[in-house]
A and B are shown apart, each in its own frame.
Chain A
Amino acid sequence: MAEQIDLTADRTTELMTVNIGPHHPATHGVLRLIVDLEGEVVRDLKPVIGYVHTGIEKSCEDKSYWKVIPFVERMDYVSYFFQMEAYCGAVERLVGLEIPPRAKYLRTIFLELNRIHSHLVWLGTTALDLGAISMLWYCFRERDRILDLFEMATGQRMHTRYFQVGGVIEDIPLGFEAKCRSFVEDMPVRVGQYEALLDRNEVFLQRTKGVGIVSRERLLELGVTGPLLRAAGEPWDLRKTFDYLAYPELDFKIPVGTVGDNYDRYRVRVAEMVESASIVGQALDRLEDGPFIADDRKYVLPPRSELSTSMESLIHHFKLVTEGFRVDPGEVYYAIESPRGELGCFVLADGSSKPSRVHFRDPSFVNLQAFKDMALDSYVADMICSLGMLDPILGGVDR
């Protein structure tokens, strides 16, 4: 006789292991989660990564320095300007190349536009996870304007290859400034509209407030940086603490949270968008005429017009394009504040024209370690919310 199932037994302590992903819209990329559930409550969690590992760091070792730039852009595919800045900045520090003021400001403008773009993608997709579908369309509408600006200045909407060792590849075109200014003026209004949609939305508030709290001390132990850390009340931003690009000359604030829950993470990022828009506006005001790339022919391509008149320029051009420039042995670690936290680039030079090691300290990769702390003992639905608020870009995690 078959064993009778006792229907009255208490099954709340029964654990069930569930696989989520790697292909699931709520995992924001190719992330796989192995979750132990007790009923609806997450009791253990393990992220499994590596599904989009493409060996970019290894490929970089086989390319001359200037050819590495488009590779590293494709790591964190939402904040490509930041990867370029981390890499170019590291190489500039290796060769001791000072970039001209106009290049500093142009880089700052594009970095901050990219920060807004990245936060817009985050806000749209995360609000979508929480059921606020219209947010996606509003956010992507503004994102499109930023991509239009990128296309206008660089010819590409994504993966622009705009930053070069020594500056930027070309100056901004006529009309860019006006278009950029009109965007910068609109952006705070748009952010106000997002807030009007979300800040008094009962569903959104209930699902974010008090959810996914991790203490500031624990976040620091886990190496978490960026908006996640600032939402927990730690005013740590590399733009303020370290001196790079035009940031020391610009006036901006660092938004911080108090509780460190998912609502604070949302507030901090939204406030950052307004600050970034203000930074772009100030940088446009202070943009002076002058060269947009350094004038060191050993590292920087000569202007096209010189090639037909100057033998010297032709030789430099030929050397730079074929072999590339050589870098004396040494190593540099250069970190900047990306939309997700500290983005560090380590470059080791061995004296040849190819880097012998390029390593990226990707903030998504390190921040992902905090996910277990954020989601433990919460409901599955809250775990999805916390994952969205963590904002991992799997291209950056896996490299």
Chain B
Amino acid sequence: MPDAPGLELIRGEIERDHPGAVLATSFDRDQPALIVDPEQILAVLSWLRDTPGQRYRFLSSLHVADYLPAAPRFGVHYELLNRDRVERIRVKAMLADPEGDALPEIDSCTELFPTANFQEREAFDFFGIVFDGHPDLTRILLPDDYVGWPQRRDFPVGGEPVTFTYNERNYG
């Protein structure tokens, strides 16, 4: 892992190429994280992937967390891995809830990391985050006609009616 000063160095270098891209850094529990501007997420990811000396070429995991009641509310996490130096870094893009029926949007990174395909679909499925430019952004684990974004913190546990024979007409 890059240590805390190492993380600041990375931030400084990204700032030079993409001013304003990194909003903050955090170094918590020995895990470095860059909090970046969602508009520039692809610029930061491709910088980390392709810059000589960085080469975080492996996307371990892409997941979303709902930080309700904090604002901006959704955090899209990219766990990047440099397999040569065995270092991980987390890139975090915080997305605000646009209210109403509108969904938060961020650019898809499937061009940079084809592995993100399923994981972005999962994030869309459970949090309703739209990844612009994703080749096939449909629900992956839930049925296609499902309504709602169940992993959001304001979606109640047990909010799902159980269908039995006697009540299947009500729920279909």
Chain A positions near chain B (C-beta within 8 angstroms): 49-50, 53, 55, 57-59, 61-62, 93-94, 96, 220-224, 236, 241-242, 330-333, 335, 342, 344, 346, 348, 356-357, 359, 361, 365-366, 368-369, 398-399
- Whether, in the assembled complex, B47 has its beta carbon less than 8 Å from a beta carbon of chain A, the answer is no
**Contact (Cβ within 8 A) B157 A342:** no
How distant is the Cα of A93 from the Cα of B86 in the complex, in angstroms?
19
A101 vs chain B, min Cβ distance (A):
21
Q: A57-B151, A356-B153 are in contact. Are A342 and B141 (CB under 8 A)?
A: no
B61 close to A361 (CB less than 8 A): yes
A49: chain B residues at CB < 8 Å are: 140-141
- A333 to chain B: closest residue by CB: B79
Tell me how far the C-beta of B58 lies from the nearest C-beta in chain A, rounded to whole angstroms: 6
Q: In the assembled complex, which residues on chain A have CB atoms less than 8 Å from the CB atom of B30?
A: 93
Nearest CB on B from A89, distance (A): 12
Verify A331–B28 contact, CB threshold 8 A. yes
- What residues on B are CB-neighbors of A361 within 8 Å? 60-61, 63, 79, 119
Question: By DSSP majority rule, is chain A's interface helix, strand, loop, or mixed?
Answer: mixed
Query: CA separation between A93 and B143, bound complex, in Å?
Result: 36
In the complex, the answer to whether A58 meets B150 with C-beta atoms within 8 Å is: yes
Chain A nearest CB from B27 CB (Å) reads 11
B-chain residues with CB within 8 Å of residue A221 when the two chains form the complex:
113-115
The number of inter-chain residue pairs (CB within 8 angstroms) is 98
9 interchain residue pairs of minimum CB distance: A223-B115, A361-B61, A50-B141, A359-B63, A357-B65, A53-B141, A62-B157, A241-B86, A348-B65
B157 and A58 contacting across the interface, CB-CB below 8 Å: yes
**Chain B residues near A242 (CB, 8 Å)?**
86
Query: Cβ of B150 and Cβ of A55 under 8 Å apart?
Result: yes
Complex Cα gap A366–B122 (Å): 11
Question: By the criterion CB–CB under 8 Å, are B88 and A333 in contact?
Answer: yes
Given contacts A53-B142, A220-B57, contact A369 B118 (CB under 8 A): yes
The answer to whether A346 touches B63 (Cβ under 8 A) is yes
Using CB atoms and an 8 Å cutoff, list the residues of chain B in contact with chain A. 28-31, 57-61, 63, 65-67, 77, 79, 83, 86, 88, 90, 113-119, 122, 126, 139-143, 150-151, 153, 155, 157, 160
B126 to chain A, nearest CB (A): 8
A366 touches B65 (CB 8 A): no
CB pair B29 A344 closer than 8 Å: no
Contact B150 A330, beta carbon cutoff 8 Å: no
- CB B129 to nearest CB in A, in angstroms, measures 14
A366 touches B141 (CB 8 A): no
| B84 → A minimal CB distance (Å) | 10
Contacts of B141 in A (CB 8 A): 49-50, 53, 398-399
Chain A residue nearest to B152 (CB atoms) is: A58
The residue in chain B whose Cβ has the minimal distance to the Cβ of A344 is: B61
Beta-carbon contact of B59 and A330 below 8 Å:
no
- Residues from chain B with a CB closer than 8 A to the CB of A93 are 29-30
Name the contact of A365 in the complex, choosing from B83, B114, B118, B160 (C-beta under 8 A). Answer: B118
Q: Give 7 pairs: A residue, B residue, CB < 8 Å, sorted on A.
A: A50-B139, A59-B157, A221-B114, A331-B65, A333-B31, A361-B119, A366-B119
Contact B114 A222, beta carbon cutoff 8 Å: yes
Chain B residues, Cβ within 8 Å of A53: 141-142
Most buried by B among A55, A93, A399: A55
Q: How far is the CA of A207 from the CA of B65 in the complex (A)?
A: 44
Closest Cβ of chain B to A283, distance in Å, is 23
| Complex Cα spacing A96 to B30, Å | 10
Rounded to whole angstroms, the CA-CA distance of A242 and B67 in the bound complex is 29
The answer to whether A344 and B117 touch (CB under 8 A), given A58-B151, A331-B28, is no
Residues on A with C-beta less than 8 A from B143 are 50
In the complex, chain A residues whose CB is within 8 Å of the CB of B61: 333, 335, 344, 346, 359, 361
A220 touches B60 (CB 8 A): no
Residues of B within 8 A of A348 (CB): 65, 67
Could you tell me the distance in whole angstroms from the C-beta of B28 to the nearest C-beta in chain A? 5
Other A-B pairs beyond A331-B31, A344-B79, A357-B66, 12, CB < 8 Å: A49-B140, A58-B155, A221-B115, A223-B115, A330-B29, A333-B60, A333-B90, A346-B77, A357-B151, A359-B65, A368-B118, A399-B141
Interchain CB contact under 8 A, A223 and B65: no
**Bound-complex Cα distance A142 to B44 (A):** 50
A67 → chain B closest CB, angstroms: 13
Task: Report chain A residues within 8 Å CB of B115.
Answer: 221-224, 366, 369
| Cα of A242 to Cα of B88 in the assembled complex, Å | 10
Q: Which residue of B lies closest to A46 (CB)?
A: B136
- Report B-chain residues with C-beta under 8 Å of the C-beta of A399: 141
Cα distance A398–B77 when bound, in Å? 20
Chain B residue nearest to A220 (CB atoms) is B58
| Neighbouring A residues of B90 by C-beta, 8 Å | 333
Residues of B within 8 A of A331 (CB): 28-29, 31, 65
Shortest Cβ distance from A63 into chain B, in angstroms? 10
A99–B75 CA distance with the chains assembled, in angstroms: 31
